[in-house]
Amino acid sequence: MNSPLLTVRCIVVLALLTLSIVTVACSKPEQTTAAAASGAATPASDSNSAAKPSVSTPPAQSAPSGPKPNVDGNHVMRYVKEVVAFGSRPVGSPGHAKLEQYILSKLKGVDVEQDKFTAETPVGKFAINNIIAKFPGREDGIIVVAGHYDTNYPLPKTYVGANDGGSSTAMLLALADQFRGRTLDGYSVWLVWTDGEEAFVKWTATDSLYGTRQLAEKWEKDGTAGKIKALMVVDMLGDADLDVLKETRSTPWLSELVYQAASNLGYQSHFYKMQGGVDDDHMPFLKIGVPAVDIIDLDYGYNNVFHHTPQDTIDKLSPQSLAISTDVVLETIQLINAR
Ligand SMILES: [Zn+2]
């Protein structure tokens, strides 16, 4: 159905130089070609050692009171394994349909909205479904955590996207387990399993981010956007060698808050050693003025070699990384509530 371009990539680290990292969306062609195409080269601003965190000063927020988040990484990993068991999950595939039902089955008793629409893609019309789980809070406002559940398209059937698609789906399920059945003390939290994040043929502005481009437009029209205090995108955070990028297009205060959260939990060594700009699900929301951050590890295997390949398998992930990432999201929510 689609052009079987094995070179299709959505997000790729293009250069990991001694002192800088340059990332752009889409294909994994030659560094110069893609960099030129994107016009998005983002050299590191810091001339010191790459080991130095790129956050210059800690934000003013201190650790919130109360127990620290302590998610069971094995629990998150079990979700990843169940997701991966559906096989390849591109939009329109049997695996994708099964995963939709699986996610919904895990959200029984939760206020769930299915944001369904038909996307025009370079290879025809496809049904897209953003799944939104809403957990009410006592404060007026919404914190969104989003991550995509589709896998890249088209790739060999052996591609399972354990990290790219699998980890984000699982983290959101684990977050739902934290929030269900109670009224949250702070803002409401909405978890969004975004769909159609990946390109159908080749990553471009119109062949990518189908779900979030539509959702941002909808939320802008219906007034939801104005209620969102912050939006966090989680992507590829199960990597056993966890190395979260400081994504430079993200809203600065929110990006620093994520680093503060990691520091509060003693996980800062996994964050922001490298920086660069990435096109991801946060972009449509940034465009409509919603504070947004992309929390992503784009150093997946040496030179990101496992990304969008059949080597993106469960053995490259660790429960520890999933626990760290999920805990940092929870701590960041606490910090947003304390602002
Ligand atoms: Zn991807």
Q: Which of 45-49, 61-65, 164-168 has the lowest mean pLDDT?
A: 45-49
Gap from CA of 152 to ligand 1 centroid (Å): 6
Element (H, E) at 132: strand 124-135
- Determine the 3-state secondary structure of 178 from DSSP: helix
**292 has which bridge partners?**
231
Gap from CA of 308 to ligand 1 centroid (Å): 6
Gap from CA of 296 to ligand 1 centroid (Å): 11
Which residue has tokens 């019309």? Answer: 125
Gap from CA of 286 to ligand 1 centroid (Å): 20
> From CA 54, how far away is CA 50, in angstroms rounded?
8
Gap from CA of 313 to ligand 1 centroid (Å): 13
Structure tokens that stand for 149 in this block: 């559940």
Gap from CA of 136 to ligand 1 centroid (Å): 31
Element (H, E) at 174: helix 168-179
Residue 51: its pLDDT value, please?
35
Gap from CA of 323 to ligand 1 centroid (Å): 21
Closest-CA residue to 262 (of 193, 334, 179, 317): 334
pLDDT band at 8 (very low <50, low <70, confident <90, very high): very low
* φ, ψ at 298 (rounded to 5°): -105, 25
Instruction: Give yes or no for residue 41 having a pLDDT over 80.
Output: no
pLDDT band at 9 (very low <50, low <70, confident <90, very high): very low
Closest-CA residue to 76 (of 183, 184, 162): 162
Radius of gyration from C-alpha coordinates of the chain: 18
Give yes or no for a contact between 312 and 161, defined as CB atoms under 8 angstroms apart.
yes
> From CA 63, how far away is CA 182, in angstroms rounded?
23
How high does pLDDT run on average in the chain? 85
Mean pLDDT of 79-91: 97
Residue 153: its pLDDT value, please?
78
> From CA 110, how far away is CA 35, in angstroms rounded?
43
Tens of pLDDT, residue by residue over 288-317, are 999 999 999 999 999 999 999 999 999 999
Residue 157: its pLDDT value, please?
79
Structure tokens that stand for 293 in this block: 């951050």
Gap from CA of 49 to ligand 1 centroid (Å): 29
Give yes or no for a contact between 249 and 294, defined as CB atoms under 8 angstroms apart.
yes
> From CA 277, how far away is CA 116, in angstroms rounded?
29
Torsion region of 254: left, alpha or beta (phi above 0 gives left; psi -120 to 50 gives alpha):
alpha
Residue 38: its pLDDT value, please?
33
Tens of pLDDT, residue by residue over 200-242, are 999 999 999 999 999 999 999 999 999 999 999 999 999 999 9
Residue 288: its pLDDT value, please?
98
Query: What single-letter amino acid sits at 146?
Result: A
Structure tokens that stand for 279 in this block: 């096109």
Closest-CA residue to 214 (of 123, 321, 132): 132
pTM of the predicted protein model: 0.85
- CB contact set of 286 (below 8 Å; sequence gap of 6+): 249, 250, 251, 292
Q: Which of 18-27, 82-91, 107-116, 160-169 has the lowest mean pLDDT?
A: 18-27
Q: Quick one: what percent of the chain has pLDDT higher than 70?
A: 80
3-state helix, strand, coil in the chain (%, to 5): 35, 25, 40
* φ, ψ at 245 (rounded to 5°): -75, 145
Instruction: Give yes or no for residue 36 having a pLDDT over 70.
Output: no
Residue 231: its pLDDT value, please?
98
Closest-CA residue to 283 (of 53, 24, 35): 24
Gap from CA of 88 to ligand 1 centroid (Å): 12
Gap from CA of 11 to ligand 1 centroid (Å): 6
Residue 156: its pLDDT value, please?
79
Gap from CA of 78 to ligand 1 centroid (Å): 21
Gap from CA of 161 to ligand 1 centroid (Å): 8
Q: Which of 22-36, 186-200, 229-243, 272-286 has the lowest mean pLDDT?
A: 22-36
Give the distance, in angstroms, between the CA of residue 252 and the centroid of all CA atoms in the same chain: 17
| Domains of the chain, earliest start first | 59-272+280-338 (3.40.630.10)
Instruction: Give yes or no for residue 7 having a pLDDT over 70.
Output: no
Gap from CA of 10 to ligand 1 centroid (Å): 5
* φ, ψ at 102 (rounded to 5°): -65, -45
- Determine the 3-state secondary structure of 285 from DSSP: helix
Residue 92: its pLDDT value, please?
95
